[in-house]
Amino acid sequence: MPGRSPARSRRATERKGDVRERAILDTCEALLAQKGYDAMTVGDLAQGAGITRGALYFYFGSKQEAVTALVARTVEHLWERSRTTAQADEPRQAIAAAMQRTVDLWNEHGLVMRTAIDLSLTVPEIGELWSRTADLFITAITAVLERAGVEAGTEPEQASAMARALCWMIERSFYHASQESREELQRASSTCEHIWLISAGLVG
């Protein structure tokens, strides 16, 4: 009976590895809700994912690495949902769509997002990841503002500077509102959207 080809064997191993990594990250997100970052351990991650501690170390060297990967996965989802904003034709619709996508992700993964913000000052990898993500959104917001007629540039009244302020305003507003309720998060989103529209000159 012929054996499996090396290529097929490698593909099967990769698929198994992807499933295990996803299980570790899903467990990590659940443990953040149950115990919080400080209390959870590598042993908890391994047990929740149904593997040994030794097997877990094949994927992540520490709980910090696992949380960093979880943040990376979450912000990738956030960017995938929002990256069309800069290409949308009509600024008002682009703003509404971007805000709603962001609300949806905060509703689904708000704890991970808050953990990323909390750790961004003490875990360099997470801080760099969060900063890069913010830069992507600042670029997208800048494009919307410019398309709405705001002058390009970095002066306080110009698009790039306004986009940076809007980005960090949205982050901080969502951080606090997501700890209250979905309704409060939606209200915060509506306020941020209104401020973005005013900044773009789309409301009086």
pLDDT tens profile 61-92: 999 999 999 999 988 877 776 665 556 568 99
Helix (H, G, I), strand (E, B) or coil at 110: helix
Query: Which residues 6+ apart lie within 8 Å of 128 measured at CB?
Result: none
| Mean predicted confidence (pLDDT) in 169-184 | 96
What is the model's pLDDT at position 118? Answer: 93
What is the model's pLDDT at position 203? Answer: 87
Q: Which position has the higher pLDDT, 16 or 46?
A: 46
Query: Which residues 6+ apart lie within 8 Å of 23 measured at CB?
Result: 48, 49, 50, 51
In angstroms, the CA 32 to CA 194 distance is 33
What is the model's pLDDT at position 8? Answer: 41
- 27-71: pLDDT as tens digits: 999 999 999 999 999 999 999 999 999 999 999 999 999 999 999
| Mean predicted confidence (pLDDT) in 160-181 | 96
Q: Give the predicted TM-score (pTM) of the model.
A: 0.81
Q: Specify the CATH architecture of the domain 1-61.
A: Orthogonal Bundle (1.10)
Highest mean pLDDT among 10-19, 69-78, 109-118, 191-200: 191-200
What is the model's pLDDT at position 12? Answer: 45
Under CATH, domain 64-204 is a member of which superfamily?
Answer: Tetracycline Repressor, domain 2 (1.10.357.10)
| Mean predicted confidence (pLDDT) in 134-145 | 91
pLDDT of residue 167 exceeding 80:
yes
pLDDT of residue 204 exceeding 70:
no
Provide the residue ranges of all domains of the chain, joining segments of one domain with +. 1-61, 64-204
Q: Average model confidence (pLDDT) for the chain?
A: 87
How is residue 164 written in tokens? 């940076």
CA atoms within 13 A on the CB side of 111: 14
* Runs of H (alpha helix) within the chain: 6-34, 42-49, 53-59, 63-82, 91-119, 124-147, 159-177, 182-199
Helix (H, G, I), strand (E, B) or coil at 121: coil
| Mean predicted confidence (pLDDT) in 98-103 | 89
Query: Which residues 6+ apart lie within 8 Å of 3 measured at CB?
Result: none
What is the model's pLDDT at position 77? Answer: 76
Percentage of the chain with pLDDT > 70? 87
What is the model's pLDDT at position 105? Answer: 87
